[in-house]
Amino acid sequence: MMQDVVVTYVANSLPVLLAAADTIWRFLGESGSVMSLGMAGLGSAVGIGIAGQAAAGAWAKEARAGRNLSFTYIILVGMPISQTLYAMIVMVNMRGVFDNLEVAIADSGLLMGVGMATGLAEMLSAWMQGMIGAAGIRALSDSEGKGLAFIIIAMGIVETVGIFAMVFLLGMIPSA
């Protein structure tokens, strides 16, 4: 009699346990897509903050010297935001996988990895771009605007890392 109760309990609980396992795996995959955007946004915010501080200092220096404030610094301050866009593109493509529950669960580890790799690559690309932008702003301020093209090229090289990460990781997303 007791054995029948245990067998019935296990038989009734198994679908619930399997559904819970599916939910956990799906949660891991979806977490990867969200983390890609969150980490990239963090990197963009840090990069913009670093470059923005340098711009504020350069504007103060220019104002004290009686010079016109350079609008060019805004370009260098804003460049790190693009990595957030790249991560959003990856995230939107990953979201399409979750329409097919079987693929989402079977490839949840891959999806988590793609999300984390995207987030990390975009975060560091934006952060370093902000650091280059800050150094560039200081250089432009000291040289009265000379060398902008070289600074944009240096920032573009770091931008390329973010673009490559987006393109290569988009190719890793399983098709639903």
Within-domain flag for 175:
no
**Cα 20 from chain centroid (whole Å):** 29
Residue 162 sits in a domain of what CATH number? 1.20.120.610
What pLDDT, on the 0 to 100 scale, is given for residue 140? 95
What pLDDT, on the 0 to 100 scale, is given for residue 133? 97
Phi, psi angles (nearest 5°) of residue 43:
-60, -40
Distances (CA, A) of 67 to 62, 86, 134, 146, 147: 5, 37, 20, 15, 18
User: pLDDT by residue for the chain (176 residues), tens digit each?
Assistant: 566 655 565 556 646 545 566 778 778 888 888 999 999 999 999 999 999 999 999 999 999 999 999 999 999 999 999 999 999 999 999 988 888 888 878 888 899 999 999 999 999 999 999 999 999 999 999 987 799 999 999 999 999 999 999 999 999 998 86
Domain that holds residue 132: 2-170
∠ CA 72-78-80, rounded to 5°: 130
Rg (CA), the chain: 24
What pLDDT, on the 0 to 100 scale, is given for residue 4? 63
What pLDDT, on the 0 to 100 scale, is given for residue 137? 96
Distances (CA, A) of 96 to 19, 29, 57, 71, 91: 21, 12, 44, 40, 9
Within-domain flag for 75:
yes
What pLDDT, on the 0 to 100 scale, is given for residue 13? 61
C-alpha 12/C-alpha 9 separation (Å) is 5
Within-domain flag for 102:
yes
Domains contained in the chain, number: 1
Within-domain flag for 164:
yes
Distant-in-sequence, close-in-space partners of 119: CB < 8 Å, separation ≥ 6: 35, 36, 37, 38, 39, 40, 87
Reading the block at residue 123, the tokens are 């975060």
What pLDDT, on the 0 to 100 scale, is given for residue 99? 83
Within-domain flag for 32:
yes
